[in-house]
Structure 1
Amino acid sequence: MRRTKRQALITSIISGLTIQLLIAPAQASSSLISQIPAKSKQTTEITIYAASSLKPAFDVIAAKFMRKHPKVKVTISYGSSGTFATAIVNGATPDIFASAAKDKMSIVKSAAATKSSLNFASNSIVLAFPQSNPHSITSVTDLNRTIDPILWARCVDSAPCGARAKASIAALGIADTPTTMVADDAAQVALLKSGEIDAALIYRSDVVAQKPLLASVKFKGAAAQTSVTKYPIAVLKTSKHKKIARQFIQFVLNKKKGQHILSKYGFGKPRG
């Protein structure tokens, strides 16, 4: 009887130890898993300095690029190409610079901020006015008429839109006497929409982006070629995300992606 009770006690102890040994690994595994942090959803951000005329198209391009690359954030600052070129030379460090003029990109190259650039679009200066055309504008030469004079604007000479407008007017042989000059084409569009001016020398892409609010007439003759500007784009040497920056540029250059969007917003094909 005593032997039977002793055997039962030993059997009970062994069973208890067996159960603990079986449970222990599961508990250990559970503890280990809870201590392993989940993979962080890191986002890589690239910054772009882009000419203000690119905003409608680049906003769409950036959104589509980010959908294709969910771990990438694209932040774009829009403004005058000349202002951006100066900022880069003075130490600003965007990943990409998209300029509305080759001479502004040349400033950046001269400062050794980038090795090379690619032309990704073209644009042309046109005379824009409200779709209702209250002043019956039919030609760029109407800017100099004395009967029902036109209040008009253009960009300052230091901005690509201003330099191109000035050269186009000179090629046409009319007086360069704007009512006002502003920093960039976006400021001109704002003046047109507010009714503060009757017409403005802006990019064709600006008119397309503002349809159906604005209409326009083109430069003709020798001035037609002068009115065209080329848009270069480059990855800067200071970029910490060169691989992704290059992928963005390739997206812009892709015929079915970036080029299709740029065309939709009034930009022409890249020119050499």
Structure 2
Amino acid sequence: MKLFRSALPLLLLVLLIIVSACGESAPAPSSNAPSSPKATPAQVSLKIFAASSLTESFNSLKTSYHNAHPNVDITYNFNGSQALVQQLTNGANADIFASADQTNMQKAAKADVVGESKVFAKNKLVIILPKSNPGHITSLKDLSKSGIKLVVGAPAVPIGKYGLQVLDKMGTSPEYGTNYERSVKANIVSQEQNVKAVVQKVQLGEADAGIVYQTDVTAAVENKLTTLTIPDQFNVIASYPIAITKNSAQATEAQNFLTYLLSPEGQATLAKYHFIGIK
């Protein structure tokens, strides 16, 4: 009994240590502990080959798209659609091709440099004149007057092809006739490689008139030009197709841009620049 009483304090101490150890647990994580940071999206560069007539609208789209996708940087190559196809078939690197006509998109598809295309916008043609109107042109019939200097796109350029289609329609109409078509064609003094070159020559007064898209009468030049409307029965509706290139290194982001372009927001931007939307 005496031995038990002498060992009792030691037993109590051991029990106290065991109870204390069993009561310990890992501290609960603090509700204020910082969460793991989200991964920052990798920077992506998209290169878009686009018809010259898309310059202003696509530059605006670039800003709005970057605001929604800050990790995406867009660079453009604006030129005549026929020139862009040539560059692509020669091996130029691009992610997206936007053409001002179906013909050049079909050439790109035949060369196997683009995938499936979709029409994202439409356009119409107008006649532009310098503000000073040196040719004294007040109607479409005046384009046939002797001495008028008319600038158009080259036949291989979409705007040039569309312009010839307009004149062909007018030439088959009793209101104008084949003599009118011949006379207007005789007044062509320059055939440009893109529509912006047509606009530039007319606004500088180097020509009396030019055939361009209605979207080319932009805020930057509208105070230097006047326009003549081409009636719908003679006008041409230009379709603009777009496709992802076969050699795109950013096909997913390129598809995201196409989706944005076809969205209500993208279509609203195009409408702001007088493109005809798609339904």
Q: How does the TM-score come out when normalised to structure 1?
A: 0.79
Matches within 5 A, 1:186-265: 186-209=196-219, 210-220=221-231, 222-224=233-235, 227-255=236-264, 257-265=265-273
Kindly state the Cα deviation for residue 40 of structure 1 after the two structures are TM-superposed. 8.1
Q: Cα deviation per residue 1:140-175 (whole Å; 9 max; x = unaligned)?
A: 2321113xx421100101100111111111111112
Kindly state the Cα deviation for residue 237 of structure 1 after the two structures are TM-superposed. 1.5
Structure 1 letter corresponding to 2:143: L
Kindly state the Cα deviation for residue 269 of structure 1 after the two structures are TM-superposed. 1.7
Matched, 1:116 2:89: no
Contact 1:98 1:231 in 2 (8 A): yes
Matched residues in 1 for 2:40 and 2:237: separation? 47
CA RMSD of superposed structures (Å): 1.8
Please name the residue that 2:13 is paired with. none
Matched, 1:171 2:169: yes
Q: Cα deviation per residue 1:238-259 (whole Å; 9 max; x = unaligned)?
A: 111111111111111112x221
Matched residues in 2 for 1:136 and 1:263: separation? 32
Kindly state the Cα deviation for residue 132 of structure 1 after the two structures are TM-superposed. 4.6
Q: How does the TM-score come out when normalised to structure 2?
A: 0.77
Number of equivalenced pairs: 228
Matches within 5 A, 1:37-52: 42-52=42-52
Question: Which structure 2 segments of 5+ residues have no match?
Answer: 1-38, 172-180
Please name the residue that 1:268 is paired with. 276
Pick from 158, 161, 165 the counterpart of residue 160 of structure 1.
158
Matched residues in 2 for 1:81 and 1:249: separation? 18
Please name the residue that 1:25 is paired with. none
Q: Cα deviation per residue 1:110-130 (whole Å; 9 max; x = unaligned)?
A: 122223111011111211113
Contact 1:230 1:270 in 2 (8 A): no
Contact 2:101 2:239 in 1 (8 A): yes
Please name the residue that 2:31 is paired with. none
Contact 1:208 1:266 in 2 (8 A): no
Matched residues in 2 for 1:86 and 1:191: separation? 25
SS at 2:115 equivalent: coil
Contact 1:121 1:232 in 2 (8 A): yes
Contact 2:166 2:234 in 1 (8 A): yes
SS at 1:86 equivalent: helix
Contact 2:130 2:204 in 1 (8 A): no
Matched residues in 2 for 1:67 and 1:145: separation? 51
Kindly state the Cα deviation for residue 270 of structure 1 after the two structures are TM-superposed. 2.9
Structure 2 letter corresponding to 1:179: V
Distance of aligned partners of 1:260 and 1:40 in 2 relative to their CA distance in 1, 3 Å threshold? closer
Structure with bigger gyration radius: 2
Contact 1:231 1:270 in 2 (8 A): no
Kindly state the Cα deviation for residue 261 of structure 1 after the two structures are TM-superposed. 1.2
Structure 1 segments of 4 or more deviating over 6 A? Answer: none
SS at 1:222 equivalent: coil
Kindly state the Cα deviation for residue 222 of structure 1 after the two structures are TM-superposed. 3.5
SS at 1:74 equivalent: strand
Determine what percentage of the aligned residue pairs are the same residue: 29
